Amino acid sequence: MRRSAATAVAAVGVVGLSALFGPPAFAAEAATSPKIVSVTVNGGRDIVVSDLTTDLEVPVTAVAQAKAGVAGIGVALWHGPNFNHIDGMKLGRGTPSCVTVNLTTMSCTDVIDIQGSLRANLGNPISENDLAGRWAVDAGGTDNNGGFSDDPHFATVNVLRKARITAETSRTQVKKGKNVTFTGSIKRVDLDTSKFKGYDEASVQLQFSREGTDVFTTVMTVKASDGEFSATVAANRDGRWRWNYAGDKTTSAATSPVRFVNVV
């Protein structure tokens, strides 16, 4: 069993050891060679999903070390309450580009395709939206002596629903001290349909940047109702206005286009 696992990982490189090694209980028996030094998913950025009907390519790079030399490295992304109850999983293509850095170190890069479904079992009726949030990174590998390792909690990565935000203004020129009303809408993708829908109760910030600077300051925070929101403020100087959403555990951050208001 261990010999075949080593052969499989050597053949496919970065794919996901949990899928190749069979039962999750294997992780508890895993040895410490090779040692996974690092795993970088999507360049260290959140994975922001806007459409499951088209392919989102997520690069994954893993580095491992072993005294006997590294035969293969495996990486998988999974979601669930624990490793014995996985409801979401994504594996690599299994066609990595691997470089032997030295006699004891190997680096492999592959691509994980986010398309179709995030679910580990397509027969599971769980909503795709319920799989947004923090995912675990399972990493491990095999060495040239048949040794193996697997850590289902090596790191974490956020898989987020994409948000979009708009901004409009009641006027672009106003006398000093007069009110200007800013409106907008925030939507996030419904991963079950790949369509954007209004994000109710989202807290958005109205921000201002006076002319001559790139620094934006939050003027006020409002809550969206069915994705719609507005705010009225007094304009006292020329500058740019925008809406900003900071993001949350399941939804990406978003910033609207700016609207310039000239104060006369």
- Sign of the alpha-carbon torsion through 162, 127, 159, 97: negative
Mean pLDDT confidence for 242-251: 98
pLDDT category, 70, cuts 50, 70, 90?
A: very high
What are the tokens at 239? 């500058």
Q: Is the pTM of this model over 0.75?
A: yes
The CATH T-level fold of domain 2-160 is Coagulation Factor XIII; Chain A, domain 1 (2.70.50)
Give residue limits of the domains in the chain: 2-160, 163-263
Residue percentage of the chain with pLDDT more than 90: 85
Given a cut of 50, whether residue 218 has pLDDT beyond it is yes
**Has residue 260 got a pLDDT over 90?**
yes
What's the whole-number mean pLDDT along residues 232-248? 98
> What's the pLDDT score for residue 31?
58
**Is-contact 116 91, C-beta < 8 A?**
no
pLDDT tens for each residue of 196-206: 999 999 999 99
| DSSP letter assigned to residue 94 | S
The reported pLDDT for the residue numbered 84 is 87
The helix (run of H) or strand (run of E) holding residue 168 is: strand 168-169
CATH of 163-263, one of 2.40.40.20, 2.60.40.730, 3.40.50.300, 3.40.50.10800: 2.60.40.730
pLDDT of residue 153: 96
Q: Are the C-beta atoms of 256 and 166 separated by less than 8 Å?
A: yes
φ/ψ of residue 38, rounded to 5:
-160, 155
Alpha carbon distance, N-terminus to C-terminus of the chain: 78
4 CB-side CA count, 13 A: 4
Supply the pLDDT for residue 223.
Answer: 98
Asked if pLDDT for residue 208 goes beyond 90, the answer is yes
Residue 113 CA to residue 92 CA, distance in Å, equals 7
Q: Report CA-CA distances (Å) from 45 to 57, 60, 76, 115, 160.
A: 13, 11, 16, 18, 11
Check whether 19 has a pLDDT greater than 50.
no
Higher pLDDT, 209 or 123: 209
